[in-house]
Amino acid sequence: MAMPTSRTPVHPVALIAAVVLASAIGAAAVVAVSRTQAVAAPAPPSEAGPSAVSRHAVTTPPTLDPTPAHSVQAIMAGLVDPAADGVWNSVGSIVTPTSEETWAPSTDEDWRRLEGHARALARGAEALADPVRVDGRENWAVPARALRVASATALAAAQRRDVSAIYAASEQLLDACQQCHTHYWLPTTESAP
């Protein structure tokens, strides 16, 4: 006789946490792979070698304009997370035993979109660094300020069209995210305003 099974509904916060965690793990993998590569602009494809630069268009940046009424989760899901993914996914490489594929912005449109991701990230950082949200918590304020710096670094790199600087900004961004997420992660018992 089969045992009856009970289905527990999945809480929306747990689902959001899973999506954010998957994005962070994917971004960490891209950054980890990029750390193994020389911090230099990818070389153009060569007919002689197995390495190739592929066309990998930069995604469209998010458009959320955060207001004080937006929750931290809404700012993260609607602005910070997609903008961070846009920066992280704009450059990278995949290395296998037989080949290497690298990508970076290659058109004016790619670079404009990357600038858009950096600007969106800056809007999110400003919203998260709002004094009402900080409320005297240094473990909130420090990573929020680090996110501001990372977004400014990404914007400057995109404006200069500097692939090496995008790699550096990606690492800086990952560090800022990890600083915050060691204290605040969905779902936690600590609530953020």
**Domain boundaries along the sequence of the chain:** 58-91+106-181
**What is the structure's pLDDT at 29?**
43
Q: Give residue 145's pLDDT band: very low, low, confident or very high (50, 70, 90).
A: very high
Tell me what pLDDT residue 187 has. 52
Average pLDDT for 49-60? 62
Q: What number does CATH give the domain 58-91+106-181?
A: 1.20.120
Residue type, 19: V
Q: Provide the pLDDT for residue 23.
A: 52
CB 133 within 8 A of CB 51: no
- The one-letter code for the residue type at 184 is Y
- pTM value? 0.66
Number of neighbours of residue 193 by Cβ within 10 angstroms: 12
pLDDT recorded at residue 91: 93
* Mean pLDDT computed over every residue of the chain: 77
% of the chain beyond a pLDDT of 70: 67
pLDDT tens, residue by residue, 11-34: 444 444 444 444 544 544 444 434
Amino acid identity, residue 84? A
At 139 the pLDDT is 87
